Amino acid sequence: MILEVNRLFNMIKGHGWAGRMVPIDHLVDLQEAIRSNYTLGLIHEAFYHEQLASFCFDLPSDLPTAQSIIIVAVPTPPMRVVFHWRGKRVPVIIPPTYVSYTPRTENVQAVLEEWLQFEGYHLAKPQLPLKTLAVGSGLADYGRNNICYVPGMGSYLQLIGAFSDISCDGDSWREPKALDRCQSCTACLRLCPTGAITNNRFLLHAERCLTYHNEAAADFPSWIDPAWHHCLIGCLRCQAACPENKALLNWFEDRAEFSEPETSWFVQSVPIDLLPEKTATKIKGLQINEDYRLLCRNLSIMLAQEPVPHWK
């Protein structure tokens, strides 16, 4: 069994990924990590119900014999999209979390499933807090910004989890750990415009995070300055300020460019099914079309600023 697990992780490493495996028993630890912070009042009520309450910590119904949980980190650059507006070329960034998320994760899951099936095992998709799993498994450490960091990848990555019936003989589970650098560095705290990162506790005030608000359909609170928006969705200020990502700041994946007429349709929030086929195809090619209305709203706010904000 140990040889099989070693071969699995050699395969994962061969793809340029990083991974860990922990026994299925740690489902209870994942659940407790969320529950305890919520019970202590460290997680805002609305954020908990909107973002965390949907996690499932039961054995998967399609793999009730699951014995382990696999977590894989995949290096992922931010996506750069160009919009033409009022005679200007405006590059806008989408953070790594959103970059081709479904195709990328499905590719990793397909590779894992193929390998496991060849060895006589099976895979099931989980609905778990993957950052908590990555840090608990020893794959990643937390930053002060509550983003997880993997050696060699910084925070520019995506996490993919999987249940499997392959046995996990070892156990790398540990208490959550912060980056050593965070003990003396306050770069993310100083650069966070909303005050979501504070000195009085390590857990992020998620209800103040710009990402939380520009992912939500509700109107922005009055205390959010429109000039704070700099990504089409999400936020990269704390990650861009982090010394752990210094070598990755110029790493982008150029994905699409939209003409001025196309940009004007987005500003007017023209429904995606009413866009010209060529334009709709480009939007769908970003693999974030489920967030299309939010993107239109966020883009409109960004383009309304003077000077026009962009990512250099």
204 dihedral zone (left: phi>0; alpha: psi -120 to 50; beta): beta
**Which residues pair with residue 89 across a beta bridge?**
84
Q: Is residue 311 predicted with pLDDT exceeding 80? A: no
What is the structure's pLDDT at 103? 60
CA–CA gap between residue 309 and residue 306 (Å, rounded): 7
pLDDT digits (tens, 9 = 90+) for 41-92: 878 888 888 888 899 999 999 999 999 999 999 999 999 999 999 999 999 9
Domain boundaries, the chain: 2-172+184-303
Sign of the four-CA dihedral 125, 126, 127, 129: negative
What is the structure's pLDDT at 308? 42
The percentage of residues in the chain with a pLDDT greater than 90, rounded to a whole number, is 72
Angle between helices 27-39 and 130-137 (to 10 degrees): 120
Q: Is residue 289 predicted with pLDDT exceeding 60? A: no
Segment 295-311 mean pLDDT: 73
**Comparing C-alpha atoms, which of 271, 260, 272 is closest to residue 90?**
260
pLDDT digits (tens, 9 = 90+) for 125-163: 999 999 999 999 999 999 999 999 999 999 999 999 999
Confidence of residue 25 (pLDDT cuts 50, 70, 90): very high
Q: Is residue 300 predicted with pLDDT exceeding 70? A: yes
Confidence of residue 290 (pLDDT cuts 50, 70, 90): low
- Apex CA 290: angle with CA 203 and CA 269, to 5°? 105
Q: Is 192 exposed, middle or buried (0-12, 13-18, 19+ CB in 10 A)?
A: buried
Angle between helices 260-267 and 292-303 (to 10 degrees): 110
pLDDT digits (tens, 9 = 90+) for 102-132: 566 778 989 999 999 999 999 999 999 999 9
**Which residues pair with residue 154 across a beta bridge?**
150
- CB-based contacts of 268, cutoff 8 Å, min separation 6: none
Segment 211-221 mean pLDDT: 89
Q: Which pair of tokens denotes residue 249?
A: 């700041």
Q: Which pair of tokens denotes residue 289?
A: 């079309």
What is the structure's pLDDT at 99? 65
Query: Residue 136 in contact with residue 30, Cβ under 8 Å?
Result: yes
Segment 252-257 mean pLDDT: 91
Q: Which pair of tokens denotes residue 99?
A: 């970059």
Q: Which pair of tokens denotes residue 18?
A: 């990083």
Q: What is the mean pLDDT of the chain?
A: 90
Query: Residue 92 in contact with residue 231, Cβ under 8 Å?
Result: yes
- The segment with the largest mean pLDDT, out of 94-103, 128-137, 209-218, 249-258, is 128-137
C-alpha neighbours within 13 Å on the C-beta side of residue 15: 21
DSSP label at residue 181: G
What is the structure's pLDDT at 285? 84
What is the structure's pLDDT at 305? 65
CA–CA gap between residue 171 and residue 161 (Å, rounded): 17
User: Which is more confident, 57 or 3?
Assistant: 57
Query: Residue 165 in contact with residue 69, Cβ under 8 Å?
Result: no
CA–CA gap between residue 72 and residue 149 (Å, rounded): 13
Q: Is residue 101 predicted with pLDDT exceeding 80? A: no
The percentage of residues in the chain with a pLDDT greater than 70, rounded to a whole number, is 94
Q: Is residue 306 predicted with pLDDT exceeding 80? A: no
Which element (helix H / strand E) includes 25?
A: none
DSSP label at residue 77: P
**Comparing C-alpha atoms, which of 174, 113, 104, 105 is closest to residue 138?**
174
- CB-based contacts of 240, cutoff 8 Å, min separation 6: 191, 249
Q: Can you give the pTM of this predicted structure?
A: 0.89
